[in-house]
Chain A
């Protein structure tokens, strides 16, 4: 079980590389510039809805907090820094895509 952390926009190679490396039991956390990926609703990202979280603080700092609906943004779960810490504890491997 690996926690993948992406901090680059969906249009960057880091994002497509991260998506190609994710296994079905893995989790992907979007932070910094990557939080905008949660705005995209294409098939590839949609198929990962249960596996992707978005960091609240980075949505807030980008003026996107209003788009959060019932704890989710386009179906992607929004978590805060405490949730980020919890994810790092739950996974035995961390991989950063920067």
Chain B
């Protein structure tokens, strides 16, 4: 009988839109949660204005917290532990790691390209 090492397929979800353009972010997070529930290893990569999602205290114009903020805080419960941000994206926005929620990993250019080449599936939002 053959034995095979089973590796979870990795889904890379790229979130590139502002948390205030909630449609994109909410849809990306929905897919992330569904993927995690169905046994995928999910990684979230934040680029462009999507990086702003990781800054705590995002509210709408009426002062109500964005619904996506609560989802982002609960990702670990679903086994989604890799929240990645390229260092050049942080530099563009002049944002430091201390400005972001806990658990975010800053990656360099090579690690960014490797995220794409190693993923079984890539979805951009």
Tell me the A residues contacting B by CB distance below 8 Å: 2, 13-14, 17, 20-23, 25-26, 93-98
Are B16 and A95 in touch, CB under 8 angstroms? no
Are A17 and B48 in touch, CB under 8 angstroms? yes
Q: A17-B16, A20-B86, A23-B113 are in contact. Are A95 and B48 (CB under 8 A)?
A: no
Q: Which of the listed residues B112, B113, B119 has the most CB atoms from chain A within 10 Å of its own CB?
A: B113
- Report A5 CB to chain B, min CB distance, Å: 10
Chain A's interface: helix, strand, loop or mixed, by majority? mixed
Q: Which residues of A contact B122 (CB under 8 A)?
A: 2, 93-95
Are B16 and A14 in touch, CB under 8 angstroms? yes
Q: A13-B48, A20-B112 are in contact. Are A2 and B16 (CB under 8 A)?
A: no
- Report B60 CB to chain A, min CB distance, Å: 23
- Report A67 CB to chain B, min CB distance, Å: 29
B47 CB-CB contact with A under 8 Å = yes
A74 to B39, CA, bound (A): 46
The residue of chain A having its C-beta at the shortest distance from the C-beta of B122 within the complex is: A95
Tell me the B residues contacting A by CB distance below 8 Å: 14, 16, 47-49, 86, 88, 109, 112-113, 115-117, 119, 121-122, 124
A22 to B115, CA, bound (A): 10
- Report B12 CB to chain A, min CB distance, Å: 9
A16 to B119, CA, bound (A): 20
A98 to B16, CA, bound (A): 10
- Report B111 CB to chain A, min CB distance, Å: 11
Beyond contacts A14-B16, A93-B116, A93-B119: 12 other A-B pairs, Cβ-Cβ < 8 A, are A2-B116, A2-B122, A20-B88, A20-B109, A21-B112, A21-B115, A22-B113, A23-B113, A23-B117, A26-B117, A93-B122, A95-B116
Q: Which residues of A contact B47 (CB under 8 A)?
A: 13, 17
